[in-house]
Chain A
Amino acid sequence: MAPIVYYAFTLLFFFAAYSVLGWGLNLQFGEAGILNFAYIGFVAIGAYITGVTSSGPPPAGSGESYVLGASLPFPLGLLAGGVASCLLAVLVAFIAFRRLRSDYLAMVLISISLVMYDVINNYVPLFDGADGLNSVPMPLSGTFNLDANGFLIFFALLSVGIGAVMWLVMSRITRSPLGRTLRAIRDDPDVVSALGKNVFRYQLTAMLIGAFYAGIGGGLIVEFASSFNTSAWLPAETFIIFAALIIGGLGNNLGVMMGAFVVPVLFTQLPKFIPDIPGHPGLILNLEGAVIGLLLIVTMWFRPQGIIPERPRRPDRFLAAQAPPAPPGGIDADAAEGPPPAPAGATDAETTG
Chain B
Amino acid sequence: MHQFWLAVGFGLVTASVIAVAAVGLSLQFGITNYINFAYGDFMALGAYLTWELNAGAVHLNIWVAMIGGSLLVGVFAVIVNRVVLGPFARRFERVFYVLIVTFALSLIILSLINSIWGADVKRFNMSSETPLHIGPFLLTVDQLIVIGIGLALMVAIHLLLTVTRLGKSMRAMSDSTTLAMTSGIDTRLITTITWFLTGILAGLAGTVLGITSASITPSFGETFLFVIFAAVIVGGVGSVYGAILGAVMIGLVTEVSAVFINASYKLDTAFVVLILVLLFRPSGLFARVGRV
Footprint of B on A, CB under 8 Å?
33, 35, 37, 95-96, 98-104, 106-108, 110-112, 114-115, 117-119, 122, 234-236, 239, 242-243, 246, 282-283, 286-294, 296-297, 300-301, 304
| Of the residues B34, B107, B274, contact of A108 by C-beta under 8 Å | B274
Query: What are 9 of the A-B contact pairs (CB < 8 Å)?
Result: A103-B34, A104-B233, A114-B223, A239-B104, A287-B115, A294-B108, A296-B101, A297-B104, A297-B105
The 5 A-B residue pairs with the shortest CB-CB distance in the complex, in nearest-first order: A289-B111, A111-B226, A293-B108, A290-B111, A293-B104
CB neighbours of A293 from chain B (8 A): 104-108, 111
* B222 adjacent to chain A (CB < 8 Å): yes
The answer to whether B37 touches A288, judged by C-beta atoms less than 8 angstroms apart, is: no
| Of the residues A106, A117, A236, contact of B107 by C-beta under 8 Å | A236
Cα–Cα distance between A256 and B144 once the two chains are bound (Å): 52
* B112 adjacent to chain A (CB < 8 Å): yes
CB neighbours of B219 from chain A (8 A): 234
CB neighbours of B278 from chain A (8 A): 95-96, 100, 108
The smallest C-beta distance from B79 to any residue of chain A, in angstroms, reads 14
CB neighbours of B103 from chain A (8 A): 37, 239, 242
- Listed stretches B58-66, B175-183, B262-270; interface member: B262-270
The answer to whether B282 touches A286, judged by C-beta atoms less than 8 angstroms apart, is: no
* B202 adjacent to chain A (CB < 8 Å): no
* B35 adjacent to chain A (CB < 8 Å): yes
* B141 adjacent to chain A (CB < 8 Å): no
Given contacts A296-B104, A297-B101, A110 and B229 within 8 Å (CB-CB): yes
The smallest C-beta distance from B7 to any residue of chain A, in angstroms, reads 19
CB neighbours of B220 from chain A (8 A): none
If over half of B's interface residues share one DSSP class (helix, strand or loop), that class is named, otherwise mixed; here it is: helix
If over half of A's interface residues share one DSSP class (helix, strand or loop), that class is named, otherwise mixed; here it is: helix
Residue of B nearest to A108 (CB): B278
Cα–Cα distance between A98 and B278 once the two chains are bound (Å): 9
* B230 adjacent to chain A (CB < 8 Å): yes
| Of the residues A111, A246, A294, A297, contact of B230 by C-beta under 8 Å | A111
Q: How large is the interface on B (under 10, 10 to 19, 20 to 34, 35 or more residues)?
A: 35 or more
CB neighbours of B111 from chain A (8 A): 286-291, 293
Cα–Cα distance between A304 and B34 once the two chains are bound (Å): 19
Cα–Cα distance between A291 and B114 once the two chains are bound (Å): 13
Given contacts A236-B107, A289-B114, 14 further A-B contacts (CB under 8 A): A95-B275, A98-B282, A100-B282, A102-B96, A110-B225, A111-B229, A111-B230, A114-B223, A115-B271, A118-B265, A122-B265, A288-B111, A289-B110, A290-B108
The answer to whether B115 touches A35, judged by C-beta atoms less than 8 angstroms apart, is: no
CB neighbours of A115 from chain B (8 A): 226, 268, 271
* B100 adjacent to chain A (CB < 8 Å): yes
| Of the residues A106, A294, A296, contact of B35 by C-beta under 8 Å | A106
CB neighbours of A110 from chain B (8 A): 37, 225-226, 229
Given contacts A96-B278, A297-B84, A118 and B268 within 8 Å (CB-CB): yes
The smallest C-beta distance from B205 to any residue of chain A, in angstroms, reads 17
Q: Mark B171-202, 1 if CB is under 8 A from A, else 0.
A: 00000000000000000000000000000000
* B292 adjacent to chain A (CB < 8 Å): yes
The answer to whether A103 touches B110, judged by C-beta atoms less than 8 angstroms apart, is: no
CB neighbours of A118 from chain B (8 A): 223, 264-265, 267-268
The answer to whether B226 touches A103, judged by C-beta atoms less than 8 angstroms apart, is: no
CB neighbours of A235 from chain B (8 A): 222
Cα–Cα distance between A289 and B114 once the two chains are bound (Å): 10
The answer to whether B115 touches A290, judged by C-beta atoms less than 8 angstroms apart, is: yes
| Of the residues A107, A119, A288, A300, contact of B97 by C-beta under 8 Å | A300
- Determine which residue in B34, B110, B279, B282 has the highest number of CB atoms from chain A within 10 A of its CB, and name it: B110
Q: Mark B272-284, 1 if CB is under 8 A from A, else 0.
A: 0011001100100
The answer to whether B104 touches A243, judged by C-beta atoms less than 8 angstroms apart, is: yes
| Of the residues A95, A106, A286, A294, contact of B114 by C-beta under 8 Å | A286
The answer to whether B101 touches A300, judged by C-beta atoms less than 8 angstroms apart, is: yes
